[in-house]
Amino acid sequence: MGFLQLPALGKVHFHEYGTGTKPLLAFHGYGMTGKQFHVLEKSILPHYHVYGFDHFFHGESQLGNWTEKQILAGMPKIMVRNYVEEWFKIYGRQRFSIMAYSIGANIALILAEEYADLIDELILMAPDGISGYKGFQFLTHNTAGRYLFKWGTKSKWFAPALLKGLKLAGFIDNSLYNIAYNEVDTEQKRLDVYYTLNFIRLLKPNINTVAAMVNQYAINCRLIFGRDDLLFPKSATMPFINLLANAKVDEVPLGHWLVTRELDEFLINNN
């Protein structure tokens, strides 16, 4: 493990694991850390040396001297390049692969835009950034939604009540409800959600460019979806999938909580 000092951003912590030699930059989902992919011990870790980055407001990563106003305005997309450029300074400019889950896919897809000529493989699990989630869009870009999000962060009852309502209405399932509830049961957790989603609000990949780069440089692209995922389902990403010349697409009998030992077994049996 170690740290990268990203110019104008802060200090990003990364975990190292895996017994393989091929470098794999990995970006986790909300509420996790760069160690999230540790469970893929049979399918991924024997082949790769993983560099799993903690997002800001997660793990040991420390955002620099940013004001709340700057955080809410969002991290400029161009700054995503800093991850790779600073990694190159330590490990040398070389080919690498990328893996990401959920909101981590926003960073992964932007890197695929910027460094396609150096990427061997792109592995995306229940990815955000392709079709997006309208709820996140409302909370971070709509004026009323941003006000509601800020107010809800301070309220003890609003976020839990909203989640219960979404569950009853069928917009989220029980597993997603449990995941989300555990991230809003204290004011600090609600504040971390508020800062995280606003901080990444500008990290929107150009999906047409990503698809063109994947095809042009023949990047091995694998997309994995939970069959019962109501947050980032396969169906919402079909326009992107249809642009890819030779992607491998899987649906597994799981929900959004996808990075599990069950997925590890699936990948072993479906290479």
pLDDT band at 166 (very low <50, low <70, confident <90, very high): low
Beta strand pairing status for 48-53 and 22-27?
Answer: parallel
Nearest C-alpha neighbor of 130 from the set 55, 196, 206 = 206
The token duo for 196 is 């995280």
Averaged over 82-100, what is the pLDDT?
98
Considering just the CA atoms, what is the radius of gyration of the chain in Å?
18
Q: What is the pLDDT of residues 172-200, one digit of tens each?
A: 667 666 666 666 667 788 888 888 989 99
Query: Any idea of the CA torsion for 110, 111, 114, 117, to the nearest 10 degrees?
Result: -140
Q: Note the pLDDT of residue 1.
A: 78
- Banded model confidence at residue 239, pLDDT cuts 50, 70, 90: very high
Specify which residues 100 forms β-bridges with. Answer: 27, 124
Q: How many CB atoms lie within 10 A of CB 134?
A: 10
Hey, what are 47's tokens?
Answer: 């082949």
| pLDDT for position 163 | 64
Mean pLDDT of 110-121: 98
Look over the chain and give the mean of its residue pLDDT values, rounded to a whole number.
88
User: What structural domains and CATH numbers belong to the chain?
Assistant: 2-133+204-269 (3.40.50.1820)
| Residue 232: both structure tokens together | 């980032």
Give the whole-angstrom CA distance, residue 243 versus residue 184: 37
- H or E segment and range at residue 268: helix 261-269
**Digit-coded pLDDT (tens) for 21-40:** 999 999 999 888 999 999 99
pTM: 0.89
**Cα 6 to Cα 4: distance, rounded to the nearest angstrom:** 6
**Angle (deg, nearest 10), helices 134-141 and 143-154:** 90
Q: Which residue type does 167 have?
A: K
